[in-house]
Amino acid sequence: MKKIVISFLLLSSFIWAQNFQVGKNGAVASASKQASDVGIEVLKNGGNAVDAAIAVGFALAVVYPPAGNIGGGGFMLICSPEGEVTAIDFREKASRSARRDMYLDESGNPVDGWSTEGALAVGVPGSVAGYEYALQHYGSMKWNELLAPAIKLAEDGFPVSYYIHEGLRDHQKLMRRFPASVEMFYQNDSVPDIGDTLRFSDLAVTLKRIAKQGAGEFYRGRTAKRLVKAVRDNGGIIDLWDLQHYEVKERKPIRFTYRGYDIFSMPLPSSGGICLAQILKVVEQFPLAEYGFQALQSIRIITEAERRAYANRAHYLGDPDFISVPVDYLLSDELIRAMAKSIDLTKATPSCEVDHAPLPKSEETTHFSVVDKDGWAVAVTTTLNSAYGSGFVAGKTGILLNNEMDDFSIKTGMPNMYGLVGAEANAIQPQKRMLSSMTPTIVCRNDSLMWVLGTPGGGTIITTVVQVLINMIDYNMTLVQAVDAPRFHHQWLPDVIFAEKYSFSPDLIDLLQAKGYTIRKRSSIGDVNAIAVDRDNKYYIAVPDKRRQSAASVY
């Protein structure tokens, strides 16, 4: 009997994940069905897309613990009905006590786990401040109304999905090091089974306090003090000063055109927008539609563009409040042309022969999408970094904290957990934001909203967004087909094309190898949550990726 119940549950979550949804008045695509439903309720109650996004963000902090968070940070892109786009940066920051060599041993070598596990890996969280800022500037509802659904989910509990069950099983070793993490996620001291109800009573208390007192509770109140004590008792360095001085930044998005489409994406400290622009602008110089989807030449051109953009990322990109980044130059026609011209049309350029672009002599970083009936569109990518972040729950706060410090370049040329390398520009400095790859993106054409999209996936975020856009713009796919299509990824170093299993045919692999490419098969890439506006501007088509457990709701 139990077997039958489990397979029914598995089947039903599979069906959710497969379903795109079409609505007239609003749409939400997120990593969890419960969270998407929360967003739709807010829209039905008169909230706008920003209100709904905030409520979805808090709900994900409960029902999607691998990445949904209040112990992490993220980025929000907001597009008004008039087409004005702004970017809200609530990325984590290094503590004022952070030191450039804090993850190295006496011989200058990185110590395994220091930047990725437990309290020392935690960056100062930005999510709660980010949501409050977004509400104050662009929302319309009351703060406590937006936290209420998350509080209810934390108190009443929610059914454990296949994906959460598997994740909690896989992350046991790390999380069992921390008693509060065990208490929160392994109630009865065992991995919760599929369909079990998971309740987070400590988190519910914290969320209630935040609902009542505002973000100040998280940054200056009892929650702040408890969080800091738990972190410091466990070898972390974040202090009250760090929380009190956390600041949200509103920034100008990266804007560019690709084959007549206006694309808006996240500026620094995410590398997402700059790399997306560089890759697409290089690719624009080649007739991809003529080559065809998954044609050898298409894959080669996209790979070579990615390789070159990631070489630039590693050298130039970091927190713009700390270093000067030649953004205009990196997006200039002159550099894009030079990058395109350096592509050998007959064979691979080995990464060791691709350096970052030289500076011209004169001069010197879990996604959900929401739209509403008035045309507001919001793209939010938030993260704890790796799944379940540092694995560390800050004592009785019920807050699972990030391990975002690993997104810094902890030593020049040393790959982080995504194999990404960096240099001086992204070195650790007190109070600095670590470089991100998160790429919340909004696309318009002739001043009309077309698509809202983004994805998780570490270094593969940028190239996933690249492929979904190319699939639609160059290969004329629908959003459903574009999100479904197999993915590949190149990030300069290591010099390999990572391809999803079952994506490249054996013949294609032979052809690519003959041209000098090394192919490495890997598990699925990304988890896109996107929304399209239909061609008559009448319907919203919400498309969750089928790769994890994402789900859409509409009305």
Task: Give the type of residue at 438.
Answer: M
> What is the set of active-site residues?
365
> CA 151 to CA 158: how far, in whole Å?
12
Nearer to ligand DON, 139 or 456 (CB): 456
Q: Which is nearer to ligand DON, 48 or 365 (CB)?
A: 365
CA distances for 216 relative to 69, 165, 221, 518, angstroms:
17, 34, 6, 51
With contact defined as beta carbons under 8 Å apart, do 468 and 486 qualify?
no
What does the CA dihedral 115, 119, 124, 130 come to, rounded to 10 degrees? 100
Pair type for strands 540-544 and 21-23: antiparallel
- Distance of alpha carbon 101 from alpha carbon 429, whole angstroms: 10
Round to whole Å and give the CA distance between 130 and 139.
Answer: 12
Is 42 or 384 the residue whose CB approaches ligand DON more closely? Answer: 384
The phi, psi pair for 27, rounded to 5°, reads -150, 145
Compare residues 351 and 437 and give the one whose CB is closer to ligand DON: 437
Minimum CB distance to ligand DON, residue 35 (Å): 17
CB of 64 to ligand DON, least distance (A): 12
Nearer to ligand DON (CB atom), residue 130 or residue 221: 130
Q: Which is nearer to ligand DON, 405 or 533 (CB)?
A: 405
Token representation of residue 48: 């706008």
Measured from the CB atom, is 110 or 440 closer to ligand DON? 440
Separation of alpha carbons 150 and 212, rounded Å = 14
Residue 260, phi-psi category: left (phi > 0), alpha (psi -120 to 50), beta (remainder): left
Cα–Cα dist 496/490, whole Å: 6
Residue of 278, 333, 287, 296 lying closest to 473 (CA atoms): 287
How many whole angstroms separate alpha carbon 500 and alpha carbon 231?
38
In this complex, which beta carbon is closest to ligand DON, that of residue 280 or of residue 438? Answer: 438
Q: How far is the CB of 487 from ligand DON (least distance, A)?
A: 13
DSSP state of 425: G
Q: Are 385 and 72 in contact (CB under 8 A)?
A: yes
Q: Which lies closer to ligand DON via its Cβ, residue 404 or residue 474?
A: 404
The binding site for ligand DON (CB under 6 A) comprises: 365, 383, 385, 404, 407, 436-438, 456-458, 461
Q: How far is the CB of 126 from ligand DON (least distance, A)?
A: 12
Q: How far is the CB of 6 from ligand DON (least distance, A)?
A: 26
Q: Closest distance between ligand DON and the C-beta of residue 216, in Å?
A: 26
Helix (H) or strand (E) holding 375: none
Residue number with the smallest Cβ distance to ligand DON: 436
Q: How far is the CB of 269 from ligand DON (least distance, A)?
A: 9
Encoded amino acid at 292, one letter: G
**Cβ-based neighbours of 113, under 8 Å, separated by 6 or more:** none
CB 370 within 8 A of CB 442: no
CB of 93 vs ligand DON, minimal distance in Å: 13
- In a 13 Å sphere around the CA of 267, the CA atoms on its Cβ side amount to 21
| CA 156 to chain CA mean position, Å | 28
Which residues are within 8 A (CB) of 472 and not within 5 positions of it... i.e. 6 or more apart? 451, 478, 479, 482
Name the nearest CA neighbour of 435 among 37, 101, 50, 75. Answer: 75
